[in-house]
């Protein structure tokens, strides 16, 4: 699987850095080994931070609709299309 670039619906600035898009590398076992049976969006956004190379606090300033879309994108990387909890 190739990296996927997500263009933010609402670009923003966080700590002097402008964010307009993020590129996500495919997941590896080390990224998902701590997930339980029912991962929450917060867990998925931690993974998103790791595979995009941005600090996890960046997601705190991101628009909710972009966080949800990124959560779905990361969920698509998981096998069997497993749904991500709220």
Model confidence band, residue 19 (pLDDT cutoffs 50, 70, 90) = very high
**What does the pLDDT read at residue 21?**
98
**Residue 15: closest CA among 69, 54, 68:** 54
Tens of pLDDT, residue by residue over 33-59, are 888 778 888 999 999 999 999 999 999
∠ CA 72-78-83, nearest 5°, is 50
**Residue 44: closest CA among 11, 86, 80:** 86
Q: Kindly report the backbone phi and psi dihedral angles of residue 12, in degrees, each rounded to the nearest multiple of 5, phi listed first.
A: -155, 170
3-state DSSP assignment of residue 2 = coil
Question: Domain map of the chain by residue range?
Answer: 4-81
């Amino acid at each position: 699987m190739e990296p996927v670039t997500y263009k933010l619906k609402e670009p923003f600035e966080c700590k002097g850095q402008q964010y307009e898009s993020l590129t996500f590398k495919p997941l590896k076992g080390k990224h998902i080994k701590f997930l339980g049976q029912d991962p929450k969006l917060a867990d998925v956004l931690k993974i998103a931070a790791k595979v995009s190379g941005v600090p996890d606090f960046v997601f705190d300033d991101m628009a909710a609709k972009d966080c949800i879309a990124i959560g779905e994108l990361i969920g698509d990387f998981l096998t069997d299309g497993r749904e991500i909890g709220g």
